Amino acid sequence: MAAALRQRAPEIIEANKKDLEAGRAAGLPDNILDRLTLTEARIDGVATGLETVAGLADPVGQVLNGGILPNGLELKQIRVPMGVVGMVYEARPNVTVDAAGLALKSGNAALLRGSSTAEHSNTTLVAVLRDALESVNLPADCVQLLPCHDRASVTHLITARGLVDLVIPRGGAGLINAVVEQATVPTIETGVGNCHVYVDAHADLDMAEAIVLNAKTRRTSVCNAAESLLVHKDVAKEFVPRITKALQQESVTIHGDDEFAQQPNVEKATDDDWGTEYLSLDISAKVVGSLDEAVQHIATYGSGHSEAIVTNDVAAARKFTTRVDAAAVFVNASTAFTDGAEFGMGAEIGISTQKLHARGPMGLSELTSSKWVVWGEGHTRPKA
């Protein structure tokens, strides 16, 4: 599949041009057009991604659990493919290839429902992948692209109970909510991140500044970016002016509580700000009276994605990591590390923010189910 993508890059770029022209005609913003664009270099990057996935250990067949029961039955719980995995996603055509590669490596068939803005790109990419599958005598239908022009294909996909084993929506909150609300097949919610950095009373303030800046400004459009800053009152006098200045130097707009709002050019936060995932150079900021108040604030407004504490106090760090209920909780590290590649998974199909099945970055293992295989020698179970 990787080789085929590289060989047929000109054809893919040709198809991509049609999407870009249509996108420009429809007045899509530049950042969306950029995400939609495929160049030879980007296609090579996507192909390299496939090679990385191909090189990962095969999750299927891995023994998760097992033993010999007192009655002599040999019990083994092994990983098996999920079966048929659906993806509903927006914009970027590279997701088409990533998802197909991860699904295939974990033994699944992939039903891909991309965005109509990427229709020509996705159609050509999937044709290339399917030809590659057939060239090694694998069934082309392991990878299928669904129609992208109306909602009907999404509705069919997410209600095909018994035929589709899992649907992963990837995109904005609207898309994810629509899928989860209407689905009767199992789904995994991904990607909404209202992530906090809490600067504790016992924080090293140099470290705190570096972590806040990194978590907010490294990439603003990603779900692991910090959207909210909480500062303990004991360090507020020193840290509030300092971090305000540092964030503003990086062009960040601060939506602050009363205490932050006393700083120059800080906007007064409204109630809505605390729950907002800006995905931009904006951050909400608040002074809290205690660690407990920070934990409570995160429980109220957080999305269960990534939360960080900066502290040198062991008791505070332990309390924060225990009490905060999120996919990833960091002590003295940036929320930006919540990522499949950073966590050593080799690849990522999304970041789960739900608690069932998978939580946090999802790699190959998260695309598998399990099965108990039991060998006996004529074992029957006594009546109770």
Backbone angles phi, psi at 123, to 5 degrees: -60, -45
**Which three-class secondary structure state does DSSP give residue 299?**
helix
Backbone angles phi, psi at 203, to 5 degrees: -80, 150
- With CB under 8 A as the rule, give the number of residues binding its own copies: 65
Q: Is residue 336 involved in binding its own copies (CB under 8 A)?
A: yes
The smaller minimum CB distance to its own copies, of residues 3 and 69, is found at 69
The smaller minimum CB distance to its own copies, of residues 288 and 362, is found at 362
User: Among the candidate windows 140-148, 240-248, 249-257, 334-342, which touches its own copies by CB under 8 A?
Assistant: 334-342
The smaller minimum CB distance to its own copies, of residues 258 and 292, is found at 292
**What is the β-pairing status of strands 306-310 and 63-68?**
unpaired
What is the contact mask toward its own copies in residues 60 to 99, using x (rule: CB under 8 A)?
-------x-x---x-x-x--x-xx----------------
Closest CA to 144 of 97, 95, 110: 110
Choice from 146, 192, 207, 281 touching its own copies (CB under 8 A): 207
Partner residues linked to 254 by β-bridges: 283
Using CA atoms in the order 275, 280, 286, 288, what is the torsion angle rounded to 10 degrees? 70
The smaller minimum CB distance to its own copies, of residues 123 and 335, is found at 335
Q: Is residue 57 involved in binding its own copies (CB under 8 A)?
A: no
Q: Is residue 163 involved in binding its own copies (CB under 8 A)?
A: no
Q: Is residue 325 involved in binding its own copies (CB under 8 A)?
A: yes
The rounded distance, in Å, linking the Cα atoms of 262 and 272 is 20
Contact 197, 331 (CB under 8 A): no
User: Among the candidate windows 32-40, 90-98, 194-202, 353-361, which touches its own copies by CB under 8 A?
Assistant: 353-361
Choice from 210, 246, 261, 279 touching its own copies (CB under 8 A): 210
Q: Is residue 301 involved in binding its own copies (CB under 8 A)?
A: no
Contact 204, 313 (CB under 8 A): no
Angle in degrees, CA 170, 173, 177, rounded to 5: 90
Angle in degrees, CA 255, 261, 266, rounded to 5: 50
**Angle, nearest 10°, between helix axes 94-105 and 119-135?**
30
The rounded distance, in Å, linking the Cα atoms of 93 and 177 is 22
Q: How many CA atoms lie within 13 Å of 112's alpha carbon, on the beta-carbon side?
A: 36
Which residues have CB under 8 Å from 26's CB, separation 6+? 117
User: Among the candidate windows 4-12, 32-40, 137-145, 324-332, which touches its own copies by CB under 8 A?
Assistant: 324-332
Q: Is residue 326 involved in binding its own copies (CB under 8 A)?
A: yes
Choice from 18, 246, 261, 343 touching its own copies (CB under 8 A): 343
**Angle, nearest 10°, between helix axes 9-25 and 40-55?**
120
Please report how close the Cβ of residue 107 comes to its own copies at its closest, in angstroms.
Answer: 11
Contact 316, 309 (CB under 8 A): yes
The smaller minimum CB distance to its own copies, of residues 146 and 331, is found at 331
Please report how close the Cβ of residue 181 comes to its own copies at its closest, in angstroms.
Answer: 5
Q: Is residue 338 involved in binding its own copies (CB under 8 A)?
A: yes
Choice from 166, 229, 231, 254 touching its own copies (CB under 8 A): 166
Q: Is residue 378 involved in binding its own copies (CB under 8 A)?
A: yes
Partner residues linked to 60 by β-bridges: none
Choice from 21, 131, 134, 342 touching its own copies (CB under 8 A): 342
The smaller minimum CB distance to its own copies, of residues 30 and 377, is found at 377
Contact footprint for its own copies (CB under 8 A): 67, 69, 73, 75, 77, 80, 82-83, 161, 165-166, 180-181, 184, 186, 188, 204, 206-207, 210-211, 213-215, 218-219, 317, 321, 325-334, 336-338, 342-344, 354-357, 359-360, 369-381, 383-384
